[in-house]
Amino acid sequence: MWTTVILSALAAGPFSGVDLDNLTDTPMLARETVVEANAKQLPTFGEGMKLGERDGKQIVVTEEGFFVQFDAELAAGMYGLSVTASAPDRGTDSFWVQVDGEQLDRALTLPVGTLDKRSASVRITEPGKHGFRLVLREAAGSVLARVELYRIKSELPRAPMREELLGKHPRIFFTADDLEAMQARLDDERVQRFYVPAGALTREPPPFKPGKRNGGAYRSLGSRALSYLLEPSEEKLQPILEWLKLATTYPDCGVDLDAEYFMEGVALTYDWLYEYLPDDLRVGVRDLIARQSRKVYEASLSGHTGGGLSFQQNHFWYAHLSLALGAAAICGEVPEAEQWLAWAWDRYERIALSFSPDGGFHEGPGYWDYSMPTLYMYTDLYEWCTGLHIPAGDDGLSGQAEFIFRYLYPGFARSAALEDTSTRHGRPPIRLLLWEAKRFKDPAPMGMAELLSGGPSWLAWNLLWLDEKVEGRDPREALPLAKYYPDIETAFARTSWEDDATDVVFVSRPLGGHKWAELCAKFGLGGTGHNHPEQNHFVLFGRGEVLAVDPGYTYKKMTRNHNTVLVDGQGQYGDGEMWPRPKPGRAHITQFVTEGDITIATGDATSAYPEELGLTRFDRTLVLAGRDLVVVYDRLSDKEPRTFSWLLHHYGELAEGDGAWTITRNEAQLGVVPIMPERFEAEASTYRPQYIHPTRDLTPKENPDINLLELKAGPATEMTFLVPLLIGNAGEELAQVEDVSTDSCDAVHVGDVLVAFNRGEGEMTVAAPWGEQLKSQASTLVARMQDGERQVVTAPADEGG
């Protein structure tokens, strides 16, 4: 169960030289100051600024017409321009940097409200005098305490590529010596189940489109190249060469996602088909890879690639994998590539060190599918090229397949749409399950791949990440019905692995999970943008339908769009943001007990709400009490009288009758029977979440509108919600629900099931379905008669939190 997170130091990364105590230091980079000016000196370097003081430090406040300008005699090399500054708001938070009259592509964006360093990197190609100028990009009002120009010198701690790989191609993931064995594997039926070589490429390569993403078309080109090596033919080779030829006309594909798409195709194809490229084409592709890699490297030095310094954000992984792929392909052929590759390993080690240790992932199943291919490839590339084992991360990488498998609803066709995940999201990519089975020689992921596979794929990874000698084990036999992930604070539970099972997912966590949230707080990092302000939220699936829904991928992330509670109509930290940043909230799951098809999970989301709301308690206990019943029990308290809104979202038809509601969705039915509070107002509405972004529209074609049942109670300083949810077939009569609360507990009797919640820390007494008076100090008790057998499951009175 959740306890205070201790960020114990791990062995330092061999390239980065850092551990969790100094995660953002850069020992590989030495800084040599060329020009520096403090606040008192800055007015002598420009105009439009006023000297002042903040928190005992001298600063200058920018005014209209602000600029700082200076010349410096420089040798050729990499330089950084750093400002120690802050802005009062997002309308005043950026500068343009001009070098020799040319404006850098990217603005220097300042922290808001906090005085901190921000930098831009500059490559000086010609020695001599060079001019630097800092000007406002937006309104005046930002403050500066220091400006520094420094030279960046790299000190490689070790060779970034094994000596035996230098000077040969192919060398990424395999060598020429491996090809015969790889070709022989194609005759193995176990390989044929997952992989088939690609046919000839028939599409024409697309010309470069300025201002657009261009790399995606090239991403699978490496798979075409591998297919040629395995089954050579001119029909396969010539189109690949044509694609490479056009690629050499591309300037670059930026420093974010598109860069990786591009390098995954171009760099791998360059390496794998090196011996088959005409000399002029080989030189052109090498120059292209160098051009792309240099751009990413220079942006990364100042944290300006995709993902910034957010080591656990998919953009950071993509950007730096692009650098690793490009540099690995041309290391030893382009002098700078050795430094680029070492820097890519430095960046990887920070990902590995800060990765969640519990086998889970904080960005939801949609971004798990999208992100893990890069992380797995990056991991393999690091170990293959360096000959080293990753410095950390295996504890979190192991179990990822089970984690994503648990998101699948019964029937294994659709996934729960938590975080930024499409509501139509389906099965995970089979190659990712194969990767874990191969790395850890684990039969469960292999069994998942065998269960979920829809047939062989021509993607290279279905072969490279396959170890056909690993015997699969059916996950329905290997895995328990329920599991709790203590770092990313997610609990999964289902009543069976059959298609007619009832399934719940419950989440209550800090944005990003505990480890990443603590690192963000310690080092001022970000990268939780695909998380939602949804703590103590759940989704429910039964009778073949999603009965309590999540809106999925939205651009305005609202607590109100989730099955949790509002306080005076207001939501949690991050409410209303497009990409929520790390927050001070530390929601957590305090109890998790499971026995057969009964699971009890309790979450404490008190700290997920802004302090000004005065919330002092929000404990939610979710009980899965067999296939036909879920009970939600909430206890809330506040410093001031508040109105509390209990939310349930659905896609069905709502009907009210005698203090209860039924929600019908095709052949399934959900009964909502509130027992507490005694008085409340119920509102039914339909809304459409914010699915539309300025550049794209993610509105689902199916069920774009969501129905909401909202139970409002208060104002009051304390509130209890006790709401049984009855899962059944459409049209059937709801089971009898009886309030059997006593002085010591809140309890409900539904059919042959009793669910009781202790109001305090003492003993509670309640009648079991078979008439016996049960006495227990447990916080939650479930008692039922099933097939003539008595069963009692309890959650301890005080476990963690």
The values of phi and psi at residue 116, to 5°, are -155, 170
> Residue 635, Cβ neighbours under 10 Å: how many?
19
Label residue 696 exposed, middle or buried (CB < 10 Å: 0-12, 13-18, 19+).
Answer: exposed
The secondary structure of the chain in percent helix, strand, coil, rounded to multiples of 5, reads: 25, 30, 40
Sign of CA dihedral 456, 460, 461, 467: positive
pLDDT at position 800, please?
Answer: 45
117: confidence class by pLDDT, cuts 50, 70, 90:
confident
Question: Do residues 431 and 461 touch, judged by C-beta distance below 8 A?
Answer: yes
480: confidence class by pLDDT, cuts 50, 70, 90:
very high
Q: Alpha-carbon distance 688 to 89, whole Å? A: 30
Strands 668-672 and 681-687: unpaired
pLDDT tens for 528-585 read 989 999 999 999 999 999 999 999 999 999 999 999 999 999 999 999 999 998 999 9
pLDDT tens for 191-222 read 999 999 999 999 999 999 999 999 999 999 99
146: confidence class by pLDDT, cuts 50, 70, 90:
very high
434: confidence class by pLDDT, cuts 50, 70, 90:
very high
Question: Do residues 25 and 340 touch, judged by C-beta distance below 8 A?
Answer: no
Mean predicted lDDT score pLDDT of the chain: 95
Identify the CA nearest to 419 among candidates 547, 524, 314.
Answer: 314
Q: Please compute the mean of the pLDDT values over residues 502-522 and round it to a whole number.
A: 96
Lowest mean pLDDT among 30-39, 104-113, 148-157: 104-113
pLDDT tens for 652-710 read 999 999 889 999 999 999 999 999 999 999 999 999 999 998 888 999 999 999 999 99
Q: Alpha-carbon distance 491 to 501, whole Å? A: 17
pLDDT at position 112, please?
Answer: 83
User: Which tokens belong to 590?
Assistant: 């305090």
Q: Please compute the mean of the pLDDT values over residues 330-348 and round it to a whole number.
A: 97
Question: Do residues 261 and 215 touch, judged by C-beta distance below 8 A?
Answer: yes
Q: What is the pTM of this model?
A: 0.95
DSSP readout, 101-135? TEEPSS-EEPPBSS-EEEEEEEEE-S-EEEEEEEE
pLDDT tens for 40-67 read 999 999 999 999 998 889 999 999 999 9
pLDDT at position 105, please?
Answer: 86
pLDDT tens for 454-465 read 999 999 999 999
Q: Alpha-carbon distance 678 to 466, whole Å? A: 58
113: confidence class by pLDDT, cuts 50, 70, 90:
confident
Question: Do residues 766 and 738 touch, judged by C-beta distance below 8 A?
Answer: no
**Statement: residue 20 has pLDDT above 50:** yes
pLDDT at position 10, please?
Answer: 58
**Statement: residue 417 has pLDDT above 70:** yes
- At 520, which amino acid appears? C
pLDDT tens for 604-638 read 999 999 999 999 999 999 999 999 999 999 999 99
Q: Alpha-carbon distance 446 to 468, whole Å? A: 9
Q: What angle do CA 62, 63, 67 make, to 5 degrees?
A: 65
801: confidence class by pLDDT, cuts 50, 70, 90:
very low
